[in-house]
Each structure stands twice: as C-alpha cells, then as structure tokens.
Amino acid sequence: MNNGMMRNIAFLSILLALLLCASCGEKKADGMKNPIRVKVEMVKSLRSADSHSFVGIVEEREATAVSFTSMGTVRRVLVSEGQHVSRGQLLAEIDDTQARNLLSGAEAMMEQANDALKRYGQLHDNGSLPEVQWVEVQSKVAQAQSQLEVARKNLADCRLVAPVSGIIGRKMIGAGETAMPSQTVVTILDISSVKVKVSVPETEIGGIHPNTSSVIKVEAINGTFDGGNIEKGIQADALTHTYDIRISVLNKEHKLLPGMVASVQFVAVPQQQTGQLMVPITAVQRRSDGTLFVWTVDNDSTAHRAVVTIGETIGNQVVVATGINEDQRIVVEGYQKLSEGTKVIF
C-alpha cells in the first residue's frame, strides 16, 4: 500500500469520527431539550365538583312607592317603618282645608244648577221656553256635576291609602313637611316571597338554568331555604363580567328581610349523574381522524395523549365517559407545543 492511499484512509477515518461525534452531540442536545411550561388540573368527579357557592343579597319581591297626587302640608303620617299594612289602610293625610272649601263651592253650584233646572223645566213643559235656552240650562247642570266630582276627588286625595298590602319599607316624609305631587311618602314592600340577587361570572352562567336547584343560607336569622325559579339577566357588567340572577324564595313567616346577606349554593347537576368525571371543554382536543383526546401528565412530568369519549356539557365543563381517571393530571393551558413524551413543568 503506497503512502498516498494510506493518507486517504487516514483522512476518511478522521472525517467519519467527526461525523459520529457531531451526531452524538445533536442527540445529546435533543435529549436535553428544555421542558415546556403548562398549566394542569386534577380530574375531579361530580361528587367533589357538583355545586358552586356565591354571596347574594335579599330583595323584596316588589316595591310600591306611594305618593299624593296634589301638593299640600302633611298633617300626619299614621304608619312607621317595618309595620304591616293592608290594602285600603289609611297611611297619611295632608291639610284638606282648601279642598273642603272647593267642595262646598261645588256643592252650592250644583244646588243652584238643579234649582234652575227645576224651574225652567216647568216652563219647558208648558212650551214657553225656547229649546236653545233649555239646552243651556242642562249644560250648566252637567258642568256643575263635573266640578262637584272633581272637588270630591280632590278631598279624597288628601287621604293617602295603601294600594297594596305589605310592609312599610321607608318613610320619606313626616308631619309638617310639604308633599309635592308624585313625591314618595312611604314605600310598601311585598315580602310574602323574596328574591335573592346573585352575580355569577360569565364562565359559569351557562350552567345555571331557570329550574336549577339552590340552597340559600342566611346567618342573620340562622335559616336555610330552598331556592325556587331563577330569573337570568342577559346583560353582563362591563367591569366584572358577571350576570345578575334572582332566585325566588318563599317567605311565609316574613323572616327574610331586604338587605340581608345570603350564602347561595347552586346544585349544577342532578344527583343521579354524580361520579362522572369533569374537565374543562378547552382541554379536549380533536385529531385529524376525528378522535378526541386530552394531554395527561405522568408522575415523571411526561406528557401523553389520552383518547377520550365525552358526554354532557355543563357550563364550561364537559363530562368525560372514558379515557382518564379521577385525580389524574391533565393539561388545560400550553398544550399547543406538546408532542408525545414531551417533558413539562407546571
């Protein structure tokens, strides 16, 4: 073997060695790739995630503002805050001196018109009264009658009576003050049933329906009540992104009063469904072949695909029928960069 050939063999050997070293370096670099940061959640069953608690405020079922229809000085107010009143009960009075004077004048005009009608009626029957004059007499009687009815109404309006039954909420005007037309004197609250107002985040409003069961606890009276029908607001608060809902609650003993703080617990699913597993909807991914999967994380912080089948959607959660187990970690954020066997941190 000549020297040229030996030099070629030596060169090829060195080149091969360098290529092998480079390959080993690349594999080492791949093997030491930085783990991907993700957010994980523990899979829970409905036994541990079947209800949500919120703080609510008790409101009256309906509030009625009661006011005089005319201006006057309040003579007396006959009710106090917290007092139960019945429909038609006298609540307050304003000075009726002017109204009585107007009524006396209207009664005198009515008497005069009736007397004229009687006297001219005889002439009309005898044919000695022109028809035009007879019509004029009748018109004056009708005008007097109308004025008399207005005067009676004005006098009656000096007495303020309850249009509905309920509890006096607030007394806004006292004796000696001047009441203006339509100025609230008292408010009457209907608390035979009440409503509990709750602000629910937009991420959970979808899981609450008009017939969703709820339990309401009020520490002020140490009472627990079953919630009834739910009214859902359709416009979110621009700052808090919450929706107001109101829960009807029977209040036969009138223990629940407006303004009381309540703890409200919604039962999000029927009891027969407990035991099923729940995960966020966003954690479920779809492959090109249509199969669904979630990313799970083992104890060694390795991510793996787990094929799943899903069921009912409840709010922003979905029931998973098969593919994962309770207390298993699943990735809920940061899964876009994952591949099978990727190391993760969380």
Beta bridge partners of 279: 318
> Are 273 and 314 a contacting pair, CB within 8 Å?
no
Which residues lie closer than 8 Å to 105 by C-beta, 6 or more apart? 151
Dihedral of alpha carbons 20, 26, 29, 31, sign: negative
153-163 average pLDDT score: 94
Report the distance separating Cα 72 and Cα 186, nearest Å. 16
Mean pLDDT over each residue of the chain, to the nearest integer: 85
- Residue 155: Cβ-neighbour burial (10 angstroms; 0-12, 13-18, 19+): middle
Q: Which of 196, 201, 189, 256 is nearest to 228 (CA)?
A: 196
pLDDT tens for 44-79 read: 776 544 456 789 999 999 999 999 999 999 999 999
Give all domains of the chain, ordered by start, each with its CATH number: 36-48+274-345 (2.40.420.20), 51-61+194-272 (2.40.30.170), 96-157 (1.10.287.470)
The pTM for the full model equals 0.55
C-alpha dist (Å) from residue 287 to 63, 146, 334: 56, 84, 17
pLDDT tens for 240-298 read: 888 999 999 999 888 999 999 999 988 754 444 456 788 888 899 998 898 999 999 99
Token digits of residue 197: 């107002």
